[in-house]
Amino acid sequence: MVFAKLRRRWSASEGTPARSPRGGGFSLYPTPLDSGLVSGQVHDERGALLPGATVTVVNRLNQVIGESQTDAYGGFALSVAPGAHRLSITNGGYRRFSTRVQVHVNQHTPLGSLGLEPDDSLQLPQPGRYRFDPYHTEIRFVAQHIGMSKIHGEFRQFDGMIEVAPRFEDSQIEVVMEAASIDTGVKMRDDHLRSADFLDVESHPRVLFRSERLTHLRADRWTVSGRLTLRGTTSPVDLETSYLGQRRYQGPGFDGDLRVACDAKAVLRREDYSVNWQATLAKGIAVVGPTINIEIGVQAVME
């Protein structure tokens, strides 16, 4: 009876989205009343808990019957139909973990502690100088507009260099963006962003980022700490970075170039760079939000 009550709390009726019992995300899969519960806790090769890992359960027909993400403590719990299923766990930078699990009616199947191993294919880049490929690199941003929608834009002209050291943590990264190349798809808005209210491109034509420290977090996750100069003001910034690996690409115009790739993101506060222009609506809602989300996708080629 206790288990049934818990399952009713943790499950939705058939066809209704149900939240994972440990807050690890949403499951959109129908949960039968005679279901069983599968739980576990995920950690990395060093024993550190892994939040945000994706847990998927498929049946014998390879149909997904349950999916969630691990919570802040690496935990998950899924209510799924009885039967013999396969459970898999994936997370960036780690090899897929897979195991068979037998789920019984109204019973809890605890899997205990589950460890993920690093993906050996994500070897760190060879030492040397790598230049951003402008055709396969994007520097994007997202800003809040009047508290209702988001404005997406990017810098069209930039140059970036990565000096990979023998010890990767000692590597250096430098990126220069042409402020006037900002593009949100609306000329009037772009002209305003180039004005003294925002980027002031006439007095400060370039936006510059220089790294100061690279810190390995786990598997493919790094923090790139550095300083960003915008409008003549320099402030520290941390880029949350996912390393995507290196490979040689043989194709038209590539000639087997050695390439490295990563994704990075950061949140900038406008006031840190003296971008203080503000306008409000009648109800006091700011036209432009106080923070800007930066999203970077990089491919760099070894020179």
pLDDT at residue number 288? 65
Q: Which helix (H) or strand (E) holds 60?
A: none
Contacts of 121 (CB under 8 A, 6+ apart): 245
Q: Which helix (H) or strand (E) holds 22?
A: none
Distance CA 293, CA 39 (A): 35
Distance CA 237, CA 283 (A): 32
288 and 144 in contact (C-beta within 8 Å)?
Answer: yes
Q: How far apart are the first and last CA of the chain?
A: 67
Q: In which residue are the tokens 């898999």 written?
A: 88
Is the model's pLDDT at 164 over the cut of 50?
Answer: yes
The fraction of the chain above a pLDDT of 90, given in percent, is 67
Averaged pLDDT for residues 104-125: 91
Is the model's pLDDT at 12 over the cut of 80?
Answer: no
pLDDT at residue number 4? 46
Is the model's pLDDT at 150 over the cut of 80?
Answer: yes
Render pLDDT for 195-232 as a digit per residue (tens, 0 to 9).
998 899 999 999 999 999 999 988 899 999 999 999 99
HSE-up of residue 89 (Cα within 13 Å, Cβ side): 29
Q: In which residue are the tokens 């420290």 written?
A: 213
Phi, psi values for residue 180, rounded to 5°: -70, -10
Classified as helix, coil or strand, 87 is: strand
Q: Which helix (H) or strand (E) holds 192?
A: helix 187-194
Label residue 146 by pLDDT band (50, 70, 90): low
Per-residue CA distances from 168 to 11, 57, 213, 214, 266 (Å): 46, 37, 10, 8, 21
Distance CA 121, CA 93 (A): 9
Locate 77 and state its tokens.
């719990």
Contacts of 195 (CB under 8 A, 6+ apart): none
What is the chain's Cα-based Rg? 24
Label residue 23 by pLDDT band (50, 70, 90): very low
Other C-beta atoms closer than 10 Å to the C-beta of 130 total: 24
The fraction of the chain above a pLDDT of 70, given in percent, is 82
Closest CA to 140 of 298, 267, 296: 296
Comparing 101-105, 167-171, 236-240, 248-252, the range with the smallest average pLDDT is 248-252
Q: Which helix (H) or strand (E) holds 193?
A: helix 187-194
Is the model's pLDDT at 1 over the cut of 60?
Answer: no
Q: In which residue are the tokens 């997202």 written?
A: 142
For domain 128-302, the CATH class is: mainly beta
How high does pLDDT run on average in the chain? 86
**Burial class (CB within 10 angstroms; exposed 0-12, middle 13-18, buried 19+) of 24:** buried
Q: In which residue are the tokens 């925002």 written?
A: 198
Label residue 8 by pLDDT band (50, 70, 90): very low
Is the model's pLDDT at 24 over the cut of 80?
Answer: no
Averaged pLDDT for residues 103-124: 91
Answer whether 0.75 is exceeded by the pTM: no
pLDDT at residue number 118? 87
pLDDT at residue number 300? 97
Between 156 and 285, residue with greater pLDDT? 156
Distance CA 134, CA 298 (A): 9
Pick the CATH number of 2-115 from 3.40.640.10, 2.60.40.10, 3.30.160.20, 3.10.50.40: 2.60.40.10
CA dihedral for 120, 125, 126, 132, sign (positive or negative): positive
Between 77 and 255, residue with greater pLDDT? 77
Is the model's pLDDT at 87 over the cut of 90?
Answer: yes
The ranges assigned to domains in the chain are 2-115, 128-302
